[in-house]
A and B are shown apart, each in its own frame.
Chain A
Amino acid sequence: MFGDLTVDDNLRLGAWQLSGRGRSRRKQRDTSWVYELLPDLVRVRARKAGGLSGGQQQMVAVGRALMSRPEVLVIDELSLGLAPLIVADLAEHLTELNREQGTAVVLIEQNARLALDLCSRAYVLEAGRIAAEGDSAELAASPDIARAYLGEAQGLPSPPDAQDDPGPDDPGPDDPGPDDPGPDDPGPDDRGSADSGSHDRATADPAPTPGTAKTARGNQDTTVQSARAATREAK
């Protein structure tokens, strides 16, 4: 996310790597289809991205990634630091994107309910290993998974409108948001990832699997946390 630039400029820069000329270049730089997909951005298209709310910034990051016409969109921690309603909204846009544009989405998420609810295929990572994998609905129905990640409730209850996300509420416009590492943050080098990129943390993923992975990134503490939150929610 480029805080100093307008939302529109942010989106256009997403297509920086596409090397068209003349008419095809104009088509590549055309942002209207992203606005159709993420209509919330239309209102703020001329505003500087740095002044937007956390959820809007996340949408800008997703939209910018889409401008590079990725085959696979990798999203790390969709729900981190966002208000539940905004997460639900983003999730809906992602489902739409997957359905209408055929873009595969790999979601890395510690909110187990959200992840299992959203995607068609899921992988449960524990301490860096895949502990379980399979169809999301099946995983959600499995008693082991339900006990560990979704609380003691039988199977997966129908999701409430607003997810009870353990994360803090919307960080507000002044917060640069989780996707904005400071200017001095060296970070991993993503120069090689040509066809994808999202959230500033996303990398291209050669895996063609359309669907979603759920992982705690090898950190069991996080998994436990999200499991606890899920337990609270089920009670």
Chain B
Amino acid sequence: MSDFLVYLITGLGTGCGIALIGSGLVLIHRVTRVVNFAQGTFAVVGALTAISLLDTGLPHGLAELLGVAVAAVVGLLFGVIAIGRRGTSPQAALVVTLGLGILAYAVEVMLWGDQGRSSEGLSGAVTVFGARIQTHYLLIIGVTMAVFAAMAALFGRTDAGKALSACSSNPYAARVVGISVTRMGLIAFAIGGALGGLAGVLLAPMNSVAFDSDVALIINGFAAAVVGSMHHIGRTLAGALFLGVAEAMVAGYGSATYQTVVALGLVLALMIGQAARTHSVVAEAG
């Protein structure tokens, strides 16, 4: 029972990190229709920046915050390059983000070397129902829930959030009412960068971060985003938590070798199910 609880909480913690990556992907895709393959890069940049800042003696909190800010700036920069030029198709922008992600490898290796690095998270552990749980996982879960609540408020209550939704609903009509779709896209990239950076700094104490850590992050994040049909942030969160818990369970009760395989197999089944459903709807409409 206590094992189960440990796996559950650690799974939820990992799932929250995945959710942050996935929701960044969804947010950028909603507004710009670009699948941003550099989303994992934001996490790596955020994490490595925070670790370096911690090494220089900056206190916890401030270093992480700056890491997130740097990731947001990188997100904005990638956005400018990918969609800044008018008339860039989402497909072209997708390839641009892929290229930028690879270019970022070179920069990251130059700046931080090619060895994995880790930071110190929240130390200590709490005992819940006889299960010892590292406090840092609870921090990850708490911060992520706060961020998702903030996003819900942004999209549900503010004009800026409505304008972002308007761009995703009908970019043409958005232009007609005077919403700059490109500017909204850049804002989406900046928020996506911040979300990625946050995932990075939160997960850095759990797994060491190297320049190529983005692959695992983007694969999981993308899987969660697909559960949300690249559109629904709430469903992305649910998908990410499911994925995180499933991986933790497989690693805990089975073997860690298979955790990604099993989790991604589940997502693949979900995708096929979704595609079949969409197809039947289209067939009926036709």
Contact present for B163 and A13 (CB under 8 Å): yes
Is the interface on chain B under 10, 10 to 19, 20 to 34, or 35 or more residues? 20 to 34
Main secondary structure of the interface of B (DSSP, over half): helix
Contact present for B163 and A183 (CB under 8 Å): no
Given A9-B162, A12-B162, A191-B180: A2 and B175 within 8 A (CB)? no
Closest CB of chain A to B82's CB: distance in Å? 18
Is the interface on chain A under 10, 10 to 19, 20 to 34, or 35 or more residues? 20 to 34
- Give every chain A residue within 8 A of B166 (Cβ-Cβ): 2, 5, 13
Q: Looking across the interface, which residue of chain B has its beta carbon closest to that of A193?
A: B176
Contact present for B177 and A17 (CB under 8 Å): yes
Contact present for B175 and A191 (CB under 8 Å): yes
Q: Mark B174-192, 1 if CB is under 8 A from A, else 0.
A: 1111111000000000000
CB proximity to B under 8 Å, residues A77-98: none
- Give every chain B residue within 8 A of A12 (Cβ-Cβ): 159, 162
Contact present for A197 and B176 (CB under 8 Å): yes
CB proximity to B under 8 Å, residues A52-81: 64, 68
Q: Is B165 an interface residue (CB 8 A)?
A: yes
CB proximity to A under 8 Å, residues B152-207: 159, 162-163, 165-166, 168-180
- How far apart sit A163 and B176, CA to CA, in the bound complex (Å)? 30
Contact present for B162 and A13 (CB under 8 Å): yes
- Give every chain A residue within 8 A of B180 (Cβ-Cβ): 191
Interface residues of B (CB under 8 A from A): 33, 159, 162-163, 165-166, 168-180, 285
What are 20 contact pairs spanning A and B, CB under 8 A?
A: A1-B170, A2-B174, A3-B169, A4-B168, A5-B169, A12-B159, A13-B159, A13-B162, A13-B163, A13-B177, A16-B159, A16-B177, A17-B178, A29-B159, A68-B178, A174-B285, A183-B33, A197-B176, A200-B176, A202-B176
Interface residues of A (CB under 8 A from B): 1-5, 9, 12-14, 16-17, 29, 64, 68, 174, 180-181, 183, 185-187, 189-191, 193-194, 197, 200, 202
Interface contacts beyond A13-B163, A68-B177: sample of 19 additional A-B pairs, CB < 8 Å, sorted by A: A2-B165, A2-B170, A2-B173, A4-B165, A5-B162, A5-B165, A5-B166, A12-B159, A13-B166, A13-B179, A17-B178, A29-B159, A181-B172, A185-B172, A186-B172, A197-B176, A197-B177, A200-B172, A200-B176
